[in-house]
Structures are given as C-alpha cells and as structure tokens.
Structure 1
Amino acid sequence: MKDSDAVSELDLALVHALQIRPRAAWSELAPLLGVSAVTLARRWERLTGQGLAWLSAVPGPAFSRTRCTAFVLVSCPPAARERLAARVATLSEAVTVELTAPGGTDLLLDVLAPDPAALNRFVTERLALLPDVTGVECLFATSLYAEGSRWRLGSLDSAQLSALGPPGTGDRDADALLTLDALDRELLGALVPDGRLGLAELALRTGTSAATVRRRLRRLTASGVATFRCDVAPALSGLPVAVTFRGRAPVRDVNGLHRTLATLPECRLVAAVTGASNVLATYWLRDMGAVQHRETALCARLPSLRITDRVVGVRTVKRMGHLLDADGRRTGTSAIHPW
C-alpha cells in the first residue's frame, strides 16, 4: 500500500460509525469522531475513491423470509476459473461471486431470486448451461441468522458506540416486499451503487420530491425490505482470508447454533441450508493458520456440530453487486435487482 493509501485510525472509526449509522449526516458524526464534517466528507471520498470502503443498499431481513436466497457451488476446469467468474459476475441474480481454493468447488455464489422456481430456472437454465461449468450444487437458505450488514469493524470505543445508539431494527412488516412500486425499485436501484446519495439527488433522479424520498426510504428500511451496508477491502479490515464452513448438526440444535456461531467477531454469515450439511457459516480471518484455530474452537463450543467441508475464498470478484479487483478493492458495479 502506498503512503497516500495508508489507513488511519480515523478512517477505521469512520467506517465503523457508518456500519451502524450508514446515512448519518457528516455533521452528526463529526462530534463523535472529534473532527469537522468537512474532514469526514473528505476522508470518505478518499476511501471510496481508492475502493477501500463503499456503502450500498442491500436486501433487508424480510427478504430471506419472503423471497429466496441460495448458496451455489460451481465447478469448472482449472484454466477456466477466472473466465467463468467474470462471466457469472455479469448475471444479476448472482449478487456475490467468490473464487475458491482449487480442489473441489471453484466458485461460491450468493444467489437471490423471487421464489424457489425462479432460482431453479436460473441455476438449471442459465448457470449450468454456461460454457466451462462442469458441476453445480445449490443450497437453499431456510434461515438466515447473520449476514454482512451486521458485521462490524470494531474500531469505536464503548463511549462512541453508546453515543451512536443502537441501529434501527426495522422488519415490522415483511409483506411490504409484495407492494413495492416502480418508484421504490428506482430508489433502491440508485442506492445499490452508492448508499449515501442525498435526498435531493435521489429526488432529482426519480422525478419526485425530497420529502417523498425520505418517506419511501423510511418505509423500506423499517419494514425490513432493505438495509444499508458498509463494506471494506481486506487492506482496511486486516482480514484477508475468507473461509466458509459447511457443517452438519441435528435439526433440533440448528436454531440454537447461531447464538454461538454468530457471536464471534469474525463472523460474516450464518445460515441454515438444505442438504446433508445443513449449516453454513462464513468467517473473515487474519491468516490461514486461523482457519484451523476457528474450526477447533467452534467444535469445542458446539459438540453436536460436525464440520464437513471448508471452502477457502481466494478472491471475491463481486460482492452484493460491487466488482472487486485482485486486492479486494471496489472498481465498479454490476447491476443486481433483488427486489
């Protein structure tokens, strides 16, 4: 990393604050972080310009109950991995695309669709028929206990966290997913590339008023239809190794496992899934040595859980619609339309 790219403690604190209050005005965060609003705006512009951090609208907690989420493992010839990943990243249903360590699965995808039938059509009629695809395994998520919008960088102290207050919980009316209109979708589409677009800019883009935009966004987030997520590159998180554990646990224990799996600070995802291995959990770790350590700790704390596979990510090509380079820095977007 060049000196001009160096990440400061203020940068880390700013990102953590935005993970809790994604659309807070700079003037609200300035007293908390001890600098001016102008300084925060400049810092955020630098972080986003260098692809180190970005903020976007993503499906909220209501999505996993009323729509369909799946994790798809794809196999291909070794020489085709990069080419296939780039092609799959252009598909709007594949919201996240990760290249994994060779030796079994080659790509791990997060796929969102309106319903199981639509997801099945995507997998069997589009994905599986792509050149170079030699195998596909689809794991439907039956419960999503933790995901990326809940992950925190851990840079703020207890006083700062208390001052920010708890994040809004939302999720009062999951049926709101069924009543989205063209304006709702247009707003969400504009906020996927840049979740901090202001009310005036959103009003201009959608041909409505700032008051209407404010009211619509409040409804979308309070209902759990959408939430906002601040993501970071490994250079900022200090956690370059992503590992996804697949495990098997008695059905009676699955609902309780997430209380342990999701409380660890490295946790990015915990889901109950279909298949013989009915638990899936993703962690961001500091190095490869931490993979074994994390697995050992999980098995010690959860005797009924048996780890059946470890899928190590070597490069994230696309994360929730954002394209990343080999260093995990954001370079652009590839449209997703989960709503």
Structure 2
Amino acid sequence: MGTRRPAPGHPALDDVSKAIVEQLQEDGRRPYATIGKAIGLSEAAVRQRVQRLTDSGVMQIVAVTDPLQVGFSRQAMIGLKCEGDLSLVADALAAMTEVDYVVITAGGFDLLCEVVCEDDDHLLEVLNQKIRSLPGVRTTETFVYLKLRKQLYNWGTR
C-alpha cells in the first residue's frame, strides 16, 4: 500500500515542522528556545516556523478552557438533518457564538455541531430560536453531555 499524501492545497509538513507542532501540542506555552534546543534549531528559526504554521492555518495557539469552570454548565452535540445546500446551514451555525464545532457528515445526520451554553434554558433558546429556525434545517437531535471523560488536542502529526 502507498503512503498517505496531503490533501490538495495542503502542503505536507516536513519533519522539523512536525516536531515543532508536537512540542507545542504537549505544552502550548513552551518557550521557542526550549523547542529549538530539543529539535536542533535556533530560537529565531522556531519563531519563524511557528509564524508560518499559524499564518497558513496549519495550527492555532489558543487557551483551552473547561466550560464548567468559566460559567457554562451545559454542553451538547446536536445532529441536524437538512435539505438544500449544507454549506449554507454549516456557515450559519459556525457564525453562532454558542457553537464551537461544526462538521458536515455522512451517515444519519447531515451536520453535527457542538454548543456551549450557560444552562438548560440557554440551550433551549439556542435550539428553538437559532438552530431550528435556520432555513434548510428539517430536524435536530440533541445529545446533552453528562460527563466529559476525555478531551485531547495532542494527536500529533502525520
């Protein structure tokens, strides 16, 4: 079997860029000098690589919070069955402040989105007034999170 090729329009990462990404996945605040020492580059070279990786959209460096610790007590995944252009519905969902994840899928649902809400009343408001009222949305099914067991962002590189 062959090796995996990058998707069209997405250049393959070289080994140095992969090493930088993996270092930052372990600790997003790791100093560039420390990364450079670990992979054999200067601090300036690491800084330039990181800038290129972020400018090109290959990676983001962000603070990830625990929603429960910052006042959001309700998270849910919502499955949507739609008609018409899925991209229009996906873009409308992505524009909502409560939505932090949108994916077009194959299977029982056309789209999945994750919402982060203050409480059950807020979730109901988002469902009824924002999501279900979108043109193209036929049905929704909501999967309320009871307990988060695993959430990682360090899946490495290929």
Q: TM-score range by the shorter chain?
A: 0.7 to 0.9
Distance 1:142 1:64 in 2: 17
State the TM-score, normalizing by the size of structure 1: 0.42
Q: CA deviation at 1:43?
A: 0.9
Q: CA deviation at 1:66?
A: 5.9
- Provide the secondary structure at the position in 2 that maps to 1:7: coil
Q: 2:155 aligns with which of 152, 173, 182?
A: 152
**Which residue matches 1:91?**
96
Report percent identity of matched pairs: 25
Distance 1:65 1:144 in 2: 16
Q: Where do residues 251-330 of structure 1 align in structure 2 (5 Å cutoff)? A: none
Distance 2:71 2:28 in 1: 24
Q: CA deviation at 1:124?
A: 1.5
**Which residue matches 2:128?**
124
- Post-superposition Cα deviations, 1:105-148, rounded to whole Å, max 9, x if no partner, equal 11101110111211111012211111111001111100111114
Unaligned runs of 5+ in 2: 1-5
Unaligned runs of 5+ in 1: 154-236, 239-339
Q: CA deviation at 1:65?
A: 9.3
2:14 aligned with 1:14: no
Aligned residue identity for 2:149: Y
Distance 1:133 1:148 in 2: 31
Distance 1:84 1:62 in 2: 28
Distance 1:46 1:119 in 2: 38
- Provide the secondary structure at the position in 2 that maps to 1:146: coil
Q: 1:135 aligns with which of 131, 139, 144?
A: 139
Contact 1:95 1:111 in 2 (8 A): yes
State the TM-score, normalizing by the size of structure 2: 0.85
**Which residue matches 2:34?**
28
Distance 1:105 1:94 in 2: 17
Against the structure 1 CA distance between its residues 83 and 66, is the aligned structure 2 distance closer, same or farther, given a 3 Å change threshold?
closer
Aligned residue identity for 2:146: T
**Which residue matches 1:70?**
76
Q: CA deviation at 1:46?
A: 1.3
Report which of the two has the higher share of strand. 1
Q: CA deviation at 1:6?
A: 3.8
Which runs of structure 1 show a deviation greater than 3 angstroms over 4 or more consecutive aligned residues?
Answer: 61-66
